[in-house]
């Protein structure tokens, strides 16, 4: 790094959730430059555009710096600056009124996207009030299906970016992800593995930047992931390439799984997925014979109608090849002994009583997402939104949110209408978003450069994020906001009395209390490692009812779900609704991120907006030619369930099948002075749905595999 004055400080980036190490040049108390930290064990100096440009987030002229109170109608953009004391007093009084009149369950809270400190902050608030209605609001389609599937199969998640040992793997199977644009460190390590001879396989409907570097790219029809996984399992099992020792000793239900795969020979799977039978066989052989291999599973597999069972099929694939918790495979994390992980509050001993959790919205319909035995215990967001509108099964009258719900959730119109029905909406935010414009109070959140925090989002070490500047204006740590609200409500931090006694600034020491470390003594750039252990299940087994990998899930059977993975055709597709497909001839996939933006954050940053200035929809040149569409034309997009239409700029590419199109997500226009900030113009979630049918286990609303039509219009 070129030092031009000032001082260089180490900290941890959170422009996305990779937690890379960064070096920050601070001159006269202000950030002057951001670079990657070459001494960080994971990122090793790598940094993406979001991290480099984050100083433009911190010092953006539109950043929220003071608490605001709504003085006009919702969405009228009339605000009054108030003191923290006035804002918190009003919020606390209103929450107490709502709790008294409607019960604690009528108060909900959520975070999402990049949760900052808002994840513990919002959960602590609802559970102190006595409400179980908390969620990572997009979990019903983002990581929720993976979490449920992998927990019932082997007792924990092992397919995320911190669980794949790419540096020691001989084969890396990337399923439904494009880490070149989303997780650049993972992409770097995959490419390094490729250079040393590892085989790279990518499963994706698009020829993404990652897929373009693969030895094999399987271009499946959107929504058919489970069929493809079962076809690969069929080849592995019936050619007897599975790990016989591991399956015999550590798996239950193998014969049942074998029977299920009989229905998925490669030739049949080829007809379902569009992937050649020979390619299915080749991938099965390469993945199985490579010792070890790892599988990186991303949200492309979750945004589909059959999300949880697709994840289950892939979990079984990892298991029968013996790639669980081995060097170069998929690992269970092992943090330093005594560390209380960042998600500790989802463990049984920290949660509300079962009778409270049974009242959570969605607990009856989706018990493994929302019920007392769910891994995390999260409300089902579409049902919560409907409860705001209908007051069924009971009223939802208050919401404290730390994310941009109107951009990130399906069915934008219903979301906005529901938020207007609330008696109290409080938003923790960095900017005035379309969601914040509907709030009663908007509270300015500190960025990660302005707080101290323990970071444990790694496989076998922890470190600290140290603030490099003081918070701008009156911005606060979101955890502090929650503590102050709870204090004003005169409530106890149940079930966390020790946290209440420590105060919000003692949160990190609480998480370190059994490690022998004190938070203030860990310096920026210091890493506390645990020895990397493999096959940890050999000590105590797997945390499943049987203590083994459950290829035939006893939990799914108990809850009335198919205990074996299976393919379910998308409810809306050329195969299931051929007549509808005549009017809406394209299969729509959404959600593919671009490297400058993290969900809806970054569109207001000049450096990033230059990289991706417009909302785009990718379409094959042959399909575009038939519609008279050329590169860069603005086009209209419609779906059968969406109300209205949106406009996006056509991007012609042969990376898609001619019948498939791909739309970017979370698009808005922060520069627009209207309160909706262009929310309705190009946001694909205006066209997605939040009504049944839901995926039966996690309650996913399909956001990939929908039908749509595209046309050019002079009025665009």
Contact present, 321 and 295 (Cβ < 8 Å): no
pLDDT for the residue numbered 496 = 66
Are 164 and 285 part of one and the same domain?
Answer: yes
Which pLDDT does position 494 carry in this prediction?
65
Instruction: Say yes or no to pLDDT of 545 above 80.
Output: yes
Q: What is the pLDDT of residues 286-315, one digit of tens each?
A: 999 999 999 999 989 999 999 999 999 999
Per-residue pLDDT tens digits for 406-428: 999 999 999 999 999 999 999 99
- For residues 501 and 422, state if they share a domain: yes
Together in a domain, 228 and 132: no
Reduce the DSSP state of residue 527 to 3 states and report it. coil
Mean pLDDT confidence for 123-143: 92
Average pLDDT of the residues in 162-179? 96
Note the helical H segments in 553-687: 554-558, 578-583, 606-611, 621-626, 679-682
My answer on whether 271 and 168 are in the same domain is: yes
What is the C-alpha to C-alpha distance for residues 545 and 227, in angstroms, rounded to an integer?
Answer: 27
Partners of residue 23 on adjacent β-strands: 10, 35
User: Same structural domain for residues 507 and 441?
Assistant: yes
Structure confidence at residue 716 as a pLDDT band (50, 70, 90): low
What value does the mean pLDDT take over residues 59-64? 97
Q: What is the arithmetic mean of pLDDT over 475-502?
A: 87
- H/E stretch holding 647 reads strand 646-652
CB 361 within 8 A of CB 379: yes
Q: Are residues 119 and 163 in the same domain?
A: no
End of a domain among 314, 331, 348? 331
What was the pLDDT predicted at 3? Answer: 47
Q: Identify whether 483 is part of a domain.
A: yes
Q: Are residues 190 and 298 in the same domain?
A: yes
Range of the domain at 82: 68-138+365-449+470-516
Placement of tokens 């924990």 in the chain: 156
Q: How is the chain split among helix, strand and coil, in percent rounded to 5?
A: 35, 15, 50
Residue 49 lies in a domain: no
* Interatomic CA distance for residues 44 and 392, integer angstroms: 51
- Phi, psi for 637 (deg, rounded to 5): -125, 135
Give the neighbor-by-neighbor strand order of the sheet with 461-465. Answer: 453-455, 461-465, 528-529
Predicted confidence (pLDDT) at residue 4 exceeds the cutoff of 90:
no
**If you ran DSSP here, which 8-state letter would residue 701 be given?**
P
Place 2 in a pLDDT band, splitting at 50, 70 and 90: very low
Residue 561 lies in a domain: no
The CA distance from 430 to 469, in Å, is 16
Partners of residue 402 on adjacent β-strands? 111
Residue 475 sits in a domain of what CATH number?
3.40.50.740
Give yes or no: residues 620 and 698 share one domain.
yes
Examine residue 622 and state whether it is found in any structural domain, yes or no.
yes
Q: Residue 601: which CATH number?
A: 2.40.40.20
Would you say residue 562 has pLDDT above 60? yes
d(CA 244, CA 234): 15
Is residue 418 one of the residues assigned to a domain?
yes
In a domain, 668, yes or no: yes
Residue 182 sits in the same domain as residue 133: no
Report pLDDT digits (tens) over 238-279: 999 999 999 999 999 999 999 999 999 999 999 999 999 999
Radius of gyration of the chain (CA): 25
CATH assignment at residue 194: 3.40.228.10
pLDDT value for 715 = 60
CB atoms inside a 10 Å sphere around CB 502:
16
107 in Cβ contact with 131 (< 8 Å): yes
Whether 25 and 33 have beta carbons less than 8 Å apart is answered as yes
Question: In which band, very low, low, confident or very high, does the pLDDT at 115 lie, cut at 50, 70 and 90?
Answer: low
Same-domain pairing of 372 and 499: yes
Domain assignment present for residue 565? The answer is no
Task: Let me know if residue 522 belongs to a domain.
Answer: no
Q: Are 120 and 164 in a shared domain? A: no
- 161 and 307 both lie in a single domain: yes
The mean pLDDT value of the chain amounts to 94
Number of domains in the chain: 3
What mean pLDDT comes out for the span 572-577? Answer: 93
Report which of 2, 146, 206 is spatially closest to residue 657, judged by C-alpha positions: 206
Q: What is the pLDDT of residue 579?
A: 96
- Residue 1: its pLDDT value, please? 39
Lowest mean per-residue pLDDT among 109-118, 352-361, 408-417, 592-601: 109-118
Q: State what percent of residues in the chain have pLDDT above 90.
A: 88
């Amino acid at each position: 790094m070129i030092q031009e004055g000032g001082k260089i400080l180490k900290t941890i980036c959170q422009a996305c959730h990779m937690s890379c190490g960064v070096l920050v040049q601070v001159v006269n108390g202000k950030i002057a430059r951001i670079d990657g930290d070459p001494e960080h064990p994971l990122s090793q100096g790598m940094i993406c555009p979001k991290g480099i440009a984050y100083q433009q987030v911190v010092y953006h002229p539109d950043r929220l710096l003071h608490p605001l109170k709504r003085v006009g109608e919702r969405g009228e953009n009339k605000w009054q600056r108030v003191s923290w004391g006035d804002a918190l007093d009003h919020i606390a009084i209103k929450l107490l009124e709502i709790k008294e009149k409607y019960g604690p369950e009528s108060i909900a809270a959520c975070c999402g996207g990049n949760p900052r400190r808002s994840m513990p902050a919002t959960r602590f608030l609802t559970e102190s009030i006595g409400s179980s209605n908390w969620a990572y609001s997009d979990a019903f389609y983002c990581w929720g299906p993976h979490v449920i599937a992998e927990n019932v199969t082997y007792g924990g998640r092992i397919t995320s970016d911190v669980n794949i040992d790419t540096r020691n793997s001989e084969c890396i199977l990337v399923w439904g992800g494009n880490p070149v644009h989303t997780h650049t460190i993972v992409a770097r390590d995959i490419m390094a593995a490729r250079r040393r001879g590892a085989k790279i396989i990518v499963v994706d409907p698009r020829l993404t930047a990652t897929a373009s570097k693969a030895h094999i790219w399987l271009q499946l029809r959107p929504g058919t992931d489970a069929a493809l996984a079962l076809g690969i399992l069929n080849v592995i099992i019936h050619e007897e390439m599975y790990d016989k020792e591991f399956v015999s000793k550590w798996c239950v239900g193998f014969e049942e799984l074998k029977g299920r795969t009989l229905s998925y020979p490669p030739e049949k799977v080829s007809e379902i997925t569009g992937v050649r039978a020979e390619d299915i066989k080749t991938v099965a052989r390469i993945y199985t014979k490579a010792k070890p291999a790892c599988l990186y599973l991303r949200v492309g597999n979750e945004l589909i109608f059959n999300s949880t069972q697709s994840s289950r099929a892939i979990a079984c694939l990892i298991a029968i090849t013996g790639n669980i918790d081995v060097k170069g495979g998929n690992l269970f994390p092992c943090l330093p002994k005594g560390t209380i992980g960042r998600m500790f509050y989802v463990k049984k001993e920290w949660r509300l009583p079962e009778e409270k959790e049974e009242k959570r919205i969605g607990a009856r319909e989706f018990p493994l997402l929302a019920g007392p035995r769910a891994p995390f215990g999260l409300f089902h967001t579409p049902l919560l939104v409907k409860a705001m509108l209908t007051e069924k099964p009971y009223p939802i009258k208050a919401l404290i949110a730390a994310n941009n719900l109107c951009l990130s959730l399906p069915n934008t119109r219903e979301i906005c209408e529901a938020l207007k029905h609330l008696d109290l909406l409080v938003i923790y935010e960095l900017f005035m978003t379309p969601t914040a414009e509907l709030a009663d109070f908007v509270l300015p959140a500190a960025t990660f450069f302005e707080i101290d925090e323990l970071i444990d989002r790694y496989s076998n070490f922890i470190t600290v994020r140290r603030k490099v500047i003081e918070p701008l204006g009156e911005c606060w740590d979101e955890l502090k906001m929650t503590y102050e609200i709870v204090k004003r409500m005169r409530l106890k931090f149940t079930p966390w009395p020790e946290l209440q006694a420590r105060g919000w600034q003692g949160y990190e020491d609480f998480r370190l209390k059994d490690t022998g470390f004190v938070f203030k003594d860990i310096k920026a750039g210091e890493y506390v490692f645990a020895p990397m252990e493999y096959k940890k299940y050999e000590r105590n087994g797997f945390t499943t009812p049987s203590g083994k990998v459950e290829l035939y899930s006893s939990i799914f059977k108990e809850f009335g779900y198919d205990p074996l993975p299976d393919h379910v055709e998308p409810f809306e597709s050329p195969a299931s609704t051929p007549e509808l497909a005549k009017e809406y001839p394209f299969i729509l996939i959404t959600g593919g991120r671009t490297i400058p933006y993290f969900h809806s954050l970054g569109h207001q940053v000049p450096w990033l907006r230059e990289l991706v200035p417009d909302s785009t929809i990718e379409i094959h040149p042959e399909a575009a030619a038939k519609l008279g569409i050329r590169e860069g034309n603005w086009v209209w997009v419609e779906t059968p369930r969406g109300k209205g239409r949106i406009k996006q700029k056509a991007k012609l590419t042969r990376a898609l099948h001619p019948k498939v199109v791909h739309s970017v997500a979370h698009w808005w226009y922060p520069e627009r002075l209207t309160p909706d900030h262009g929310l309705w113009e190009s946001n694909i979630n205006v066209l997605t749905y939040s009504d049944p049918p839901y995926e039966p286990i996690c309650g996913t609303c399909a956001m990939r595999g929908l039908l749509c039509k595209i046309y050019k219009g002079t009025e665009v």
